[in-house]
Every structure is written in C-alpha cells, then in structure tokens.
Structure 1
Amino acid sequence: MHSDCYCRVCGYGLSSPPWGEDGSTPTWEICPCCGTEFGYEDCTPASARRKRNQWILNGKKWFENKERPADWDWDRQFQNIPDSYK
C-alpha cells in the first residue's frame, strides 16, 4: 500500500490517498475506522491530533463497524500515521 493511503488520524489503510495523488487535494470522504472527513478534521497535524484524542476518549469506536477486521490491532494501525501527524 502506498504510504499516502492511510488516514492521518487513525492510520487506517485506504484504497486511495485521502488527500489525492498530489497530497494536497482532499477527497472529503469519511474514514470507515475513525469517521474523519478528509480535508476537514485532518487538515493540520493539530486538528488530526484533536480528532484522534476525541476518538480514543470515545472508545475507538468504528464509524463503519462492518469494515472492522476481526484481527484489528490499534497499536499496529497507529504505526501507519505519518510521523508529523502523531
């Protein structure tokens, strides 16, 4: 998977870059894991951290529970978040 194909908030692996091929044009789609709207809640490292902290405090509930893998591991997924957004 391409390194730009992960949610900046939760690190979920996506089929296409949430910020487009140029890394600057958000898709405005919703992350099935944390519910982040790409281009809104992840537009800066600070906003991504706020959204992540809120999601964690609310129990890391999946936005689309049917998408949750049976072997989901938050610690492993967290490693996919770009360092500048951690």
Structure 2
Amino acid sequence: MPQCPVCGFANLKEPPRAASGGGSYEICPCCGFQFGVDDDDRGLTDEQAREAWVAKGMPWKSKSRKAPEGWDAAEQVQNFLQPKKKRPTVKKPGAKAKTVNAKVEKSPSRKVRKRGGSES
C-alpha cells in the first residue's frame, strides 16, 4: 500500500504522486494532507505539513474513515522518520557462523630463552 510522505500512514488508496509527477488529490485520512493541493497549490513541503500536524497534537483527520485499531501517531511518525536499522543475521541451526569485518590483532612475538642460552 502507498505511504503518506507527511505522516508515514501506510495505507493510502493510491500513490501520492502519479508517475507523471502530478498529485493524486487523495486526502491522507491520518494527517489530512491533500496531494496535489497542499503541496502544489499551497506550496507546503512534506516537512512543513508534518510540523504543523505534530504541533496540533497529531490528530486523526478523517471523519469517515476510522483510525486503525491500536493506532499510535507518535509511533507511526517515529518509525517513518527513522532509517531502517540493519538486523543481525540469524544463524540457522547446524550452519557455520560467519565472521564479518573482524579484525584480529597479533600480539608481538616474544623470544624465549631456553636454559642453556639458546633462543627459540
């Protein structure tokens, strides 16, 4: 499903912008941003619209479409704005573990004197 570039709502009915670049005119039910109007006609950037919505307390905007069960605006925005973190690779049972980017430092070799004066 297409995602709103303002609030991160991931259940829009169509992409905010067509392949040709024009706005879809859909209104995000979450933040109320209308693609092709708020940006193209009113000149708002996604960031400006997000800041305004956050300043108003991040309310669910749609009167006809209810918020998803358990919806949390702050969590949605945080997940949207944070870059995806790399997840550690999980080792399958019985598979050999891989060491990635490991740096092994050798300790300096020491010469040991054996009894009798010779070095090894």
Q: Same fold (TM over 0.5)?
A: yes
Partner in structure 1 of residue 99 of structure 2:
none
In structure 2, what is the Cα distance between the partners aligned to 1:34 and 1:76? Answer: 14
Question: Aligned-pair distance for 1:74?
Answer: 2.8
The answer to which structure has the higher helix fraction is 1
Percent identity for Structure 1 against Structure 2: 34
The aligned residue for residue 71 of structure 1 is 70
Secondary structure at the counterpart of residue 53 of structure 2: helix
The CA distance in 2 between the partners of 1:62 and 1:23, in whole Å, is: 30
- Per the alignment, residue 11 of structure 1 pairs with 8
Which of the residues 26, 29, 43 maps onto 1:29? Answer: 26
Q: How far apart are the structure 2 equivalents of 1:23 and 1:57?
A: 32
Is residue 2:74 matched to residue 1:38?
no
Q: Counterpart of 2:38 in structure 1: which amino acid? A: E
For structure 1, list consecutive stretches of 5 or more residues without a partner in the other structure.
none
- 2:14–2:24 contact (8 Å) kept in structure 1: no
Gaps of 5+ in 2: 84-120
Alignment length (residue pairs): 76
**Structure 1 moving runs of 4+ over 3 Å:** none
Q: Is the 8 A contact 1:12 1:77 kept in 2?
A: yes
Q: CA 1:39–1:77 in 2, change beyond 3 Å: closer, same or farther?
A: same
User: Match for 1:50 among 48, 51, 56?
Assistant: 48
Question: Which has the higher relative contact order, 1 or 2, with Cα contacts under 8 A spaced 6 or more apart?
Answer: 1
Q: Is the 8 A contact 1:28 1:38 kept in 2?
A: yes
TM-score (norm 1): 0.70
